[in-house]
């Protein structure tokens, strides 16, 4: 009974995904901003349309404080584009696995199925996730909450144990990541930026839409925020990186 229980706890592939954070979180942020804004497809003049179910809704044009801010927004959009497919696939796999597992009665078959899924997940996810930066890892943690309705911490806790979830989160905290991070585009600026990027990408068919399992009204959120794009956090981040780089640079001889 205990052996079977342990195997079932290994089913959820999100555990495998989050385990990889312990590797990629140690990487230094080596991001660079786009040099030429013209190289990127950006908002066209006027409002853009997005279709949700059978309703037509308007996403107002973004408001930037300066042209420089657009570069940081495009940099962050690239991060969201990289993380979103993993979170989307996580939600799809979770739904599929739970449905299939409920239909398997034999303990031996459940054990065999678990092993097959583990092997598949390790090959599909792990190598790619290890290549992520800390920013991308943080976005992925948030998007897992958006797509599954549960935080990464709670997903691990439910399938492993509260003790394991505690230690994984403690380790993640060392690298300034938290598996308990939630997704709140209505109150957190970074989450608003993520949702703004997603909604516009869905509208342009750049990303395949998957509805969030969280309850929020983006139309109301963007209306209240007046579509203002705040990227000050990332400007400060790059300024600190530049400052550290200068300190480490060897001094020129007189």
Q: Note the pLDDT of residue 102.
A: 78
- Catalogue the E-assigned strands of the chain: 48-52, 55-59
132: nearest Cα among 177, 71, 167: 177
**Quick check: 238 and 231 in contact, CB under 8 A?**
no
Q: Note the pLDDT of residue 101.
A: 72
124: nearest Cα among 93, 155, 156: 93
In the chain the first and final C-alpha atoms are separated, in Å, by: 74
Structure tokens at 97: 């696995």
Query: pLDDT of 151-181, one tens digit each?
Result: 877 766 655 544 454 445 554 554 567 778 9
- Catalogue the E-assigned strands of 9-100: 48-52, 55-59
Mean pLDDT per 10-residue section of the chain, whose length is 254 residues:
48 48 48 55 43 58 93 96 90 77 81 65 61 86 91 66 50 64 96 97 93 94 96 94 83 61
The answer to whether the Cα torsion of 191, 196, 199, 201 is positive or negative is negative
Most distant CA pair in the chain, distance: 78
Q: Note the pLDDT of residue 32.
A: 66
Domain boundaries of the chain, sorted by first residue: 39-236
Q: Note the pLDDT of residue 93.
A: 78
């Amino acid at each position: 009974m205990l052996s079977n229980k342990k195997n079932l706890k290994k089913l959820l592939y999100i555990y495998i995904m989050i385990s990889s954070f312990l590797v990629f979180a140690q990487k230094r942020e080596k991001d660079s901003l786009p040099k030429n804004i013209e190289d990127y497809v950006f908002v066209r003049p006027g409002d853009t349309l997005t279709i949700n179910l059978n309703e037509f809704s308007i996403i107002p044009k973004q408001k930037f404080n300066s042209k420089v801010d657009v570069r940081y927004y495009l940099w962050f959009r690239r991060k969201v584009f990289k993380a979103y497919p993993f979170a989307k696939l996580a939600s799809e796999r979770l739904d599929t696995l739970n449905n299939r597992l409920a239909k398997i009665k034999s303990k031996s078959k459940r054990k065999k199925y678990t092993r097959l899924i583990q092997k598949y997940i390790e090959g599909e996810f792990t190598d790619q996730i290890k290549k992520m930066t800390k920013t991308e890892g943080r976005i992925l943690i948030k998007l897992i909450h958006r797509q599954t309705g549960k935080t990464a911490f709670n997903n691990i806790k439910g399938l492993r144990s509260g003790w394991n979830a505690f230690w994984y989160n403690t380790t993640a905290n060392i690298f300034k990541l938290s598996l308990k991070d939630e997704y709140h585009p209505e109150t957190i600026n970074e989450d608003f930026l993520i949702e703004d990027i997603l909604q516009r990408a869905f509208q342009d068919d750049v990303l395949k839409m998957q509805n969030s399992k969280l309850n929020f009204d983006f139309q109301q959120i963007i209306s209240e925020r007046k579509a203002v794009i705040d990227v000050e956090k990332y400007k400060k981040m790059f300024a600190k990186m530049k400052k550290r780089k200068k300190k480490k640079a060897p001094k020129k001889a007189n």
